[in-house]
């Protein structure tokens, strides 16, 4: 793809020149906020090209991501333990910073700041702070969409209704964004582990991916935390899998690219993506209003959930998976959130509980996928189904379905073993 050179406002680029100043200072800064990798780090690549072309020094600041759960911070720090050292070959100065440590004084004599493009509110707050510093000090500011396959605004210029409406828009552009960069360096610990998890998936699980919905089996890739922290790019995953002759490849790429980037489309074009009153469709609000007063046989609180105190062994097992492992099987995530809807006094209360648990306990939480996944349970990106109590026209899921489709007792058995290991 075109890079910075001579190409300041190329519409097809991952790069956006947000603030453009005539500034002849001698250094350039990369604020690494979402792509904690070197391999296929498009932002780092742009910053290096810019610094080299202009003869500037390059400083890299690794910025700790926003997390609510100390376990996630611990995981992140452990995974990036050798990142500074590996970045040393690109930069005279590499250091780790908390968001609150980033202030104007860091940007003395800086000509340009490069930052990974961010999409969620807590990230945008940090970005706005950087933008204000850049503006005040007349520093050029560049953002790079390094963690999606197709830059969000290029994939589509509006909020999309569903996977169906965005699929071709994304898939038709993949060949333009397949290029790799910064490929010839020693892999960091996080990069190595990401590629190992990917290789294990491609060699041992992809051929069973048609069974990936079954919670008693483990045929999903487990790549979501690596994607979240940008330890691996979706482009790297695509390039390593596209030549494989597997009937399941399209299904996997549908999740990795179409569903994931539909989530980015959602949070980018819908500034109220996390406001219960404005995140889903009119038909969904109408049906929820209609069923608001329906009798709820069970009402549980967040405390009941985190202490595994519901009457439903499948739900309790899913909560254990969430709390013990920081993840949940993808099918159980749907069931889990649907049950919270069924067992809450109001839909809004259900939304708040689901988002809070999602963002706190999942290692892959606090991502566009999390917001889109929970919103999906309230009808977003979905369609109206047959009318039911409490759910109205929202898609309904129940324990009988789990029992009919899967060996769900096996899922519970496996998860309960985990509990005993704790
Ligand atoms: C209520 C609910 C909450 C969810 N919360 C999160 C979350 O916090 N973080 C998160 O990353 N995903 C979330 N998802 C989406 C999905 O369940 C997870 O991405 C998936 O379970 C991760 O496991 P995996 O990497 O093994 O998936 P795989 O099946 O191997 O899929 C590969 C990749 O595709 C992407 N993907 C898969 N399914 C979806 C989907 N439905 N929507 C968007 N992208 C998808 C993920 O990046 C995933 O890593 C949620 C879904 C629901 C219904």
Tell whether 69 and 137 lie within a shared domain.
yes
CATH number at residue 128: 3.40.50.620
For the record, the structure tokens of 345 come out as 């006094």
Q: How many residues does the chain have?
A: 422
Check residue 419 and give its pLDDT.
Answer: 63
Q: What is the pTM of this model?
A: 0.96
**Beta bridge mates, 112:** 28, 140
Q: Please check whether residues 156 and 136 belong to one and the same domain.
A: no
Residue 350: CB atoms within 10 Å: 23
- Report how far ligand 1's centroid is from the alpha carbon of 259 (Å): 8
How much is the pLDDT for 77?
98
Instruction: For residues 160 and 259, state if they share a domain.
Output: yes
Residues 169 and 250 occupy one common structural domain = yes
All residues at 6 or more sequence positions from 160 whose CB lies less than 8 Å from its CB, including other chains: 166, 169, 262, 265, 266, 269
Residue-level pLDDT at 10: 55
Distances in whole angstroms, Cα of residue 51 to Cα of each of 177, 379, 388: 23, 47, 60
Are 242 and 347 in a shared domain? no
- Same-domain status, 264 and 284: no
Residue 3 neighbours by CB under 8 Å, 6+ apart? 13, 15, 45, 46, 49
Residue 416 and residue 285 share a domain: yes
398 and 355 together in one domain = yes
In the 8-state DSSP scheme, what is residue 197? H
374's CB contacts (< 8 A; 6+ apart) are 337, 351, 354, 355, 358
Boundary (domain end) residue, out of 230, 254, 269: 269
Residues 6 or more apart whose CB falls under 8 angstroms from that of 146 comprise: 14, 34, 35, 40, 41, 42, 43, 116, 117, 230, 233
pLDDT value, residue 7: 38
Q: Does 1 reside within a domain?
A: no
- Domain assignment present for 21: yes
242 & 303 share domain: no
Name the residue of 66, 224, 234 to mutate for ligand 1: max ligand atoms within 8 A of Cβ. Answer: 224
CA of 4 to the centre of ligand 1 (A): 32
Pairing mode of beta strands 140-144, 57-63:
unpaired
Whether residues 261 and 381 share a domain: the answer is no
The reply to whether 321 and 392 lie within a common domain is yes
Instruction: Work out how many domains the chain is built from and give that number.
Output: 3
Task: Say how far residue 78 (Cα) sits from the centre of its chain.
Answer: 20
- Look at residue 5 and tell me if it is in a domain: no
- Give the end of a domain, one of 92, 121, 144: 144
Distance 244 CA to ligand 1 centre (A): 22
Tell whether 173 and 252 lie within a shared domain. Answer: yes
Residue-level pLDDT at 420: 63
Q: Which of 98, 111, 139, 97 is nearest to 50 (CA)?
A: 111
Q: What is the pLDDT of residue 262?
A: 98
pLDDT, tens digit, for every residue of 206-233? 999 999 999 999 999 999 999 999 999 9
Q: What is the pLDDT of residue 373?
A: 98
Does the beta carbon of 261 sit less than 6 angstroms from any atom of ligand 1?
A: no
Q: For residue 226, what is the domain's CATH number?
A: 1.25.40.80
Point out the residues of the chain with pLDDT beneath 70. 1-11, 419-422
Question: What is the CATH classification number for the domain harbouring 287?
Answer: 1.10.579.10
**Could you tell me if residue 127 is inside a domain?**
yes
30: phi then psi, degrees, rounded to nearest 5: -110, 120
CB neighbourhood size of 37 (10 A): 26
pLDDT tens, residue by residue, 280-318: 999 999 999 999 999 999 999 999 999 999 999 999 999
- 241 C-beta closer than 6 A to ligand 1: no
Please identify, among 223, 253, 269, the residue that sits at the C-terminal boundary of a domain. Answer: 269
Q: List the one residue out of 148, 165, 147 whose CA is nearest residue 157.
A: 165
According to the model, what pLDDT value does residue 4 have?
A: 43
Tell me which DSSP letter residue 104 carries: G
Domain that holds residue 88: 15-144
Determine the pLDDT at residue 3.
Answer: 42
124-147 per-residue burial string, b: 16 or more CB within 10 A, e: under 16: eebbeebbebbeebebbbbbbbbb
């Amino acid at each position: 793809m075109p890079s910075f050179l001579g190409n300041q406002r190329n519409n097809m680029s991952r790069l956006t020149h947000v603030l453009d100043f005539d500034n002849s200072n001698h250094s350039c800064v990369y604020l690494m906020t979402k792509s904690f990798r070197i391999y296929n780090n498009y932002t780092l690549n742009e910053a290096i090209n810019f610094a080299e072309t202009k003869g500037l020094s390059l400083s890299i600041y690794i910025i700790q991501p926003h997390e609510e759960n100390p376990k996630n911070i611990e995981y992140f720090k452990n995974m990036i333990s050798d990142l500074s050292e590996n970045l040393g070959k690109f930069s005279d100065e590499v250091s780790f910073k908390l968001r609150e440590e980033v202030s104007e004084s860091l940007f003395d004599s800086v000509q340009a700041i490069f930052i990974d493009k961010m999409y969620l509110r807590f990230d945008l707050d940090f970005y706005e702070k950087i933008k204000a510093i850049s503006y005040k000090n007349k520093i050029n500011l560049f953002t790079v969409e390094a963690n999606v396959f197709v830059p969000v605004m290029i994939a589509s210029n509006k909020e999309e209704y569903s996977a169906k409406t965005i699929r071709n828009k994304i898939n038709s552009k993949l060949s333009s964004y397949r290029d790799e960069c910064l490929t010839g360096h020693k892999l960091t610990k996080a990069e190595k582990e990401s590629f190992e998890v990917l290789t294990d998936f491609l060699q041992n699980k992809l051929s069973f991916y048609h069974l990936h919905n079954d919670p008693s089996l483990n045929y999903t890739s487990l790549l979501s935390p690596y994607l979240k922290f940008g330890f691996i790019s979706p482009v790297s995953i695509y390039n390593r899998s596209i030549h494989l002759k597997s009937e399941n490849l399209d299904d996997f790429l549908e999740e990795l690219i179409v569903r994931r980037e539909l989530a980015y489309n959602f949070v980018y074009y819908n500034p109220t993506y996390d406001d219960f009153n404005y995140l889903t469709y009119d038909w969904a609000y109408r049906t929820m209003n209609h069923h608001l007063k329906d009798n709820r046989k069970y009402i549980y609180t967040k405390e009941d959930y985190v202490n595994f105190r519901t009457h439903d062994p499948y739900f309790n097992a899913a909560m254990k998976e969430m709390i013990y492992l920081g993840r949940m099987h993808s099918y159980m995530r749907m069931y889990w959130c649907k049950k919270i809807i069924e067992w809450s006094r109001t839909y809004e209360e259900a939304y708040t509980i689901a988002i809070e648990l999602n963002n706190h306990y999942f290692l892959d939480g606090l991502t566009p996928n999390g917001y889109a996944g929970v919103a999906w349970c309230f009808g977003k990106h979905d369609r109206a189904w047959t009318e039911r109590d409490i759910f109205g026209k929202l898609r309904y899921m129940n324990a009988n379905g789990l029992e009919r489709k899967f060996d769900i007792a096996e899922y519970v058995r496996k998860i309960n073993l985990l509990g005993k290991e704790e």
